[in-house]
Amino acid sequence: MNAPVSAFQLAADELARRDDRLRVAIEFVGPCTLAPERRRSPYESLLSAIAHQQVHGAAAAAILGRMQKLYSPRGRWPTPEELAATPEDTLRAAGLSRSKVLAMKDVAARALDGTVPDRRTIALLDDESIIERLDVVRGVGRWTAEMLLIFTLGRPDVLPVDDFGVRYGFKLLYGKRQMPKPRWLADYGERWAPYRSTASWYFWRYVDRLRTEGRDPAQQARRRKRSVAARPGASRRQAARV
């Protein structure tokens, strides 16, 4: 039996019908494999996000592993109470910088006072309410909250316009000379609603794929379109089909 098609893949199919440029990315990257880690709590996701800030993924995973082994030989997430009670020097010895230790301890304190919502509470909040609540947490800004919305909660309509990869992917796909300004991209991105998380995923993956493939199908498509448009007697409809 074939696996059911995810909501994100259905969103990709719809975006491909709506937007010729995004269709290039979708065909180049392939099926959307975005799979949110829904089993991870908001509190745990924020700890992971802080550990990964400005650190290579493998290094961050190693540091997290050492931190988790402070609480169990096999490793597990500490409860907010346990993390709050852990001496800073103990966490620093696991490889965390002082700023990350302070940020993680603030996450624990905010989880204890309810600012960082639990699974049940966060499910009742809309995207902007979640961002506003998490923005006050040390080491957590709008971008981190948006990553939680997409990769933990699986919210379908998030466009992180401050993210470099999203902006760079848009620049490449749409043939822009400069990176789009966040506010401009937010306005432009309204046309992808309610599937902006899927659009964002394809911008990220498009940039990743270009690094390995060494060719830019969006640029090739624009060249073909200009070539057709330049032919004697070519109609706009013919050029648009390319």
Residues involved in catalysis: 163
Q: Helix, strand, or coil here: 82? A: helix
Helix (H) or strand (E) holding 219: helix 217-230
Phi-psi region at 102: left, alpha or beta (left = phi > 0; alpha = psi -120 to 50): alpha
Closest residue by Cα to residue 201 from 173, 230, 165: 165
Contact 158, 195 (CB under 8 A): no
**Distances in whole angstroms, Cα of residue 142 to Cα of each of 5, 127, 145, 152, 233:** 30, 11, 5, 15, 51
